[in-house]
Structure 1
Amino acid sequence: MFKFNEFCDYVEMTLPEVLPERLKGVHIEQHEVEKNNGLVLHSVTVRPEDSNIAPNLYMDKFFERYEEGASIDDLMDEIRDIVVKNLDVPKEFSNVAEEFNHFESIKDKIVMVAVNTERNANLLSQIPHKDREDLSLIYKVMVGKDEEGTATITIRNEHMALWGVDAEQIHELAMANTKEILPVTVRSMNEVMREIFAKDGMDEDMMNIMFEEMPANQQMYIISNKSNVNGAASMFYEDALSELCEKIGTDLYILPSSVHEVIAVSSELGTPDELSQMVREVNGSQVAPEEQLSDHVYKFEAATKKLSLADVSLEELKKAAGAENMSQDAPTEGSRPRKSR
């Protein structure tokens, strides 16, 4: 039975043997990739000679299946098929690296994604971003899209230097582009549930019984984007939230259910403390750590069109984070404080 490092080494060494003849000259290497909320994945990257395309094969999930009893040979066959499929890329992907060097070629493809500021501190030190309460907006370039999803590249500080632009320019483009490329969607929970059950074949009469119409201010609304991927950034479009306020007749509380979507409710449907407790419980039991957005609740005021933390102030969060860092840096019993030089 392989250990994780041995499993990765085996994949790296064996992959050239199982690839088709036309891919025998690929360059294969291992490296770590930092994802959302500090999650680090271990990748085997495959790059053919004279190619800009280098698919990342994340070993973590494959190793989990190996530990659960999957055959190493079957996994290698699956990995080989993924490599072949990803290297046989559509024509629009073939010039990605060249286009990425030219700002004019990619500026209309820049979109924004919301992440948690504290949990992504290391990543944020390397990329342009805009802080909004306890969240940060980061920016990606959409380099391709097909029936299986979208391919993106995160914009880093070195990219801005290459293009000769600043973070504010990137943000303004992302705000405009995201709204066009990934339009905001606001749907009631009833709508979403009816759609799910309709796909499962439930007839209209039964759905009418199960999902009785409710007053607008008594419903929950899911806010995301057209692709339902990284749609939580839609909460920063004031016009969409304002329209929802007008529809239900109150201010909103925004519950961050994941990086993909948030839930809006009338400000009359609970207190910030009650709602934030619910968010924490859901995050702790139903949302993967890398997909969590925040444990806190936000309020959108219709009159001022202002979005802010509702259950805690930003100052309190910063103070708590500072106290935690001091506690972690304090010497433990039996240790020696480091001398300054």
Structure 2
Amino acid sequence: MEFEKFLEKVKNAVQAYFGENLRLTVSNVLKNNGVTLSGLIFMCEDSEVASTIYLNGFYEEYSQGQPFGEIVRRICAVYEENKPDQDLNMDFFNDYAKVRPKLACRLIHYEKNRQLLEKLPHRRFLDMAVVYCCIMMSDRIGCACVLINDSHMELWQASEEQLYQDTMDNMPRVLPVEFSSMDDFMFDVIRKAIQDKMEEPPEEDSEGCQAMLDEVAEILVGWPKKENPERKMYILTNKQRFYGAASILYPGVLKKYADSFGCDFFIFPSSVHEVILLTDTGIEDREHLYDMVHEVNCQNVPQEELLSDSVYYFSRESGRITIL
């Protein structure tokens, strides 16, 4: 089945499942790094907020033999589990004073997002761009955000400079920094992946099950969690691990860690969601660092989440980031 026909067939099947109280449309959405995805947009008659489920991945699964009925069932389940609260009122979005406390920002690659940036307030930062969003927290869906575009700026009569300053004031509160060693970060990621795969995740107070998860994760990470070897690689992100690479912009954050290390450090753009800090011991082959970043980006980072192929350097003395 061709992709366009698949989209229409999915739309009709989902519409039949939910009935006429839900309005469905299919639209192409420009995402990060020029990636265009086809989304099924859900809009309830009594709601001001739309939900979008992207169908490209589902089409790949269908092409590999996943039954169409199972695809539709999963799409309906995803919507049911993540649909916005019916009482969510977006009237506040008309008033900048009410939006201000929810402002945050993202870092994206500048050149790869020229088309997207044409419609967004932004500022250049090295080979990246700072763009802005409104963060909304929900018990149901976690961290969601609305990307700020030029029409919002016109509505609010706000400047990009004002947006930037308000965002910098907000970020440590709205999306607090999370800093950990590479080992601890990978342990948490693998442990969560194991728990998500379990049919019946253990209760938080089930010490035996929690200990078992710890042991399995330690084996997969490849290090005993209790040991404390000298570690030089660290992960910097935010508590939500959501566009956490922007945490390098937080006032004073990099200087704080440079002082604790007692040295300068390299910054690897792991993805839009986090960066890796590597202390500069003076023995690193800088050309090899670039090769390493490029290889990881090509093999392990989805195109939509790629931040940059550059290696950055933070000087403790100057307090500045530069491209290596």
TM superposition score normalised by structure 2: 0.85
1:250 matched to which residue of 2? 263
Q: Which runs of 5+ in 1 are unaligned?
A: 311-341
Rg comparison, structure with higher value: 1
Q: CA deviation at 1:210?
A: 6.7
1: distance between equivalents of 2:112 and 2:292? Answer: 20
Show CA shifts across 1:148-178 (max 9, x none).
4311100000100001101111111111111
Code of the residue aligned with 1:266 in structure 2: it is T
Is 1:174 the counterpart of 2:174? The answer is: no
Aligned length: 301
Is 1:143 the counterpart of 2:158? The answer is: no
1:8 matched to which residue of 2? 7
Q: CA deviation at 1:194?
A: 5.2
Is 1:81 the counterpart of 2:77? The answer is: yes
Code of the residue aligned with 1:237 in structure 2: it is Y
Code of the residue aligned with 1:293 in structure 2: it is L
Show CA shifts across 1:260-279 (max 9, x none).
11111112251432211110
Is 1:282 the counterpart of 2:296? The answer is: yes
Which one of 265, 275, 278 corresponds to residue 262 of structure 1? 275
Is 1:239 the counterpart of 2:252? The answer is: yes
- Preserved contact between residue 272 and residue 306 of structure 2 (Cα < 8 Å): yes
Mapping for residues 175-190 of structure 1, pairs under 5 Å? 175-190=168-183
Q: CA deviation at 1:80?
A: 2.6
- Preserved contact between residue 238 and residue 305 of structure 1 (Cα < 8 Å): no
Is 1:26 the counterpart of 2:22? The answer is: yes
- Preserved contact between residue 190 and residue 211 of structure 1 (Cα < 8 Å): no
Higher relative contact order (CA 8 A, sep 6+): 2
Mapping for residues 201-240 of structure 1, pairs under 5 Å? 201-202=214-215, 212-215=227-230, 219-240=232-253
Code of the residue aligned with 2:89 in structure 1: it is N
Q: Which runs of 5+ in 2 are unaligned?
A: 192-210
Is 1:120 the counterpart of 2:84? The answer is: no
1:68 matched to which residue of 2? 64
Which one of 273, 293, 308 corresponds to residue 294 of structure 1? 308
Which stretch of the first structure deviates more once superposed, 168-177 or 43-52?
43-52
2: distance between equivalents of 1:87 and 1:183? Answer: 26
Is 1:39 the counterpart of 2:54? The answer is: no
Q: 1:210 to 1:105 in 2, by over 3 A?
A: closer
- Preserved contact between residue 254 and residue 297 of structure 1 (Cα < 8 Å): yes
- Preserved contact between residue 233 and residue 278 of structure 2 (Cα < 8 Å): yes
- Preserved contact between residue 115 and residue 259 of structure 1 (Cα < 8 Å): yes
Q: 1:200 to 1:241 in 2, by over 3 A?
A: same
Which one of 89, 93, 100 corresponds to residue 93 of structure 2? 100
Q: CA deviation at 1:124?
A: 0.8
1: distance between equivalents of 2:247 and 2:212? Answer: 26
Q: 1:152 to 1:289 in 2, by over 3 A?
A: same
Mapping for residues 192-203 of structure 1, pairs under 5 Å? 192-193=185-186, 195=188, 200-202=213-215
Compute the RMSD of aligned alpha carbons. 2.4
1: distance between equivalents of 2:180 and 2:127? Answer: 25
